[in-house]
Amino acid sequence: MLRTAAQELGRLRDEIREGPGPATEAQHAKGKLTARERIELLFDEGTFTEIETLRRHRATGFGLENKRPHTDGVITGWGEVHGRTVYVYAHDFRHFGGALGEAHAEKIHKVMGLAEQAGAPLVSLNDGAGARIQEGVTALAGYGGIFRRNTRASGVIPQISVMLGPCAGGAAYSPALTDFVFMVRGTSQMFITGPDVVRAVTGEEITQDGLGGAQAHATISGVAAFAHDDEESCLADVRHLLSLLPQNNRELPPAEHCADPVDRRNDALLDLVPAEPTRAYDVRDVIEEIVDDGDCFEVHEGWATNVVCALARLGGQVVGVVANQPSSMAGVLDIGASEKAAAFVQTCDSFNIPLVTLVDVPGFLPGVGQEHGGIIRHGAKLLYAYCNATVPRVSVVLRKAYGGAYIVMDSQSIGADLTFAWPTNEIAVMGAEGAANVIFRREIAASDDPETLRAQRIKEYKAELMHPYYAAERGLVDDVIDPADTRRVLIGALRSLRAKHADLPSRKHGNAPV
């Protein structure tokens, strides 16, 4: 009897795993994988354990009582990624279009609670049609429970949202509450109101992809940290990201053996970065020259490109790199760059990832649009994130650092533990030309040869206040270093700070700029 029952259970599980054939074919016809195929790509082979496989909804009305598939359209459980435990829930579009009902939500609530209690990352594979309309308000309450758990786990465990299909309405807020959002071009969309509503209310004509596709969110809105051309490469990068993150906020990121010599000289930097402060270069080349094996994982690569944020390793230890990008808008800070860098700094600080800041910034972007758009508020977000961060913080002034932007880019005055500068650095309130025009405005205007006098005063200002050792002489820079020694100096500084412990004042929470 028991043997027969076990055999029947095995057949039932096989049927559930197989899923409805026509729906599977329809999913593949759209160029999409099934939920189970995605899970296989996410986890190390043979490590996934599913829970509540046999769960079914109890709703009635509108024909629901005649359609009660096992799993209720969501697969939950845990597995291993590079040998470490990760929890997952994956919408199965083959059942109810992945729409969320009461039982569906309860399964997600449970796996979210398990992930938090176990101190392990949570990955959501999103491919659903929103709330299950037939179940009414109970479906909406299910979303509320997800949002509350997202918020509770924020900064406690890494939360990664992978968008692999549609995500509309309130459902889009759960990914927005997580640490990283991945999207796939052509198949995933996120929006609060779809193109039809937009057309009816505003008269604007736009496609689903144009409104909320991967490219739109990766380059315009900043909602998506990563955009990929296919699901396979997307899930491979999710695995790579998990290899750089700790399991939770009580652990350090995983270290690796470093075959790249710690004392490797960076002579290439002497040619990569022009001495002239106005000449452009790609700071990503600098980062790749410094970090282990030239390997860095850029976050928000297509959005706010005037600042670069990336995860990498130095001496085998994971670090977060924030760098101004002179090849985009001369590397100025604006609203988008401030928001992007602030979120990255806050995420790194949440998960004990030391911060390395590479500074080459001419200031904040001027303009009516920036001021009316709230550059003061948004710039303050970056300032707040750095000031609030307790992880080891090391900054290097590569070239220029002017005005308030110098302060905001993790200067020593806001708490950087160690600050270094290259011998071509210019740290000042503003560039010499602008400073001379302000200080000597009347004298230059009254001169018989204003251009000659202006050039003379610029030269004097540079010699007096902008020479590369001015900040070091006043203790605002810990040392002026040979660019070729940058890797060695950074690794040594971070090693000295590895046991850093800093307590924030006792408080319920800070009141960060919004």
Q: Which residues are tagged catalytic?
A: 169-170, 404-405
Whole-angstrom Cα distance, residue 121 to residue 176? Answer: 16
Whole-angstrom Cα distance, residue 478 to residue 416? Answer: 11
Let me know: does 324 contact 359? Beta carbons within 8 Å.
Answer: yes
14 C-beta neighbours (distance < 10 Å), count: 9
Let me know: does 469 contact 294? Beta carbons within 8 Å.
Answer: no
- DSSP summary character for residue 253: P
Q: What does the block give as tokens for 357?
A: 């800041």
> 309 in the Ramachandran plot: left (φ > 0), alpha (ψ -120 to 50) or beta?
beta
What is the H or E stretch that residue 311 is in?
A: strand 307-314
Place of tokens 């109970």: 138
Q: What does the block give as tokens for 2?
A: 């028991």
Q: What does the block give as tokens for 336?
A: 């988008």
Q: What does the block give as tokens for 102?
A: 């009461």
Place of tokens 């709230």: 374
The span from the first CA to the last CA of the chain, in angstroms, equals: 64
Torsion of CA 214, 238, 394, 347, to 10 degrees: 70
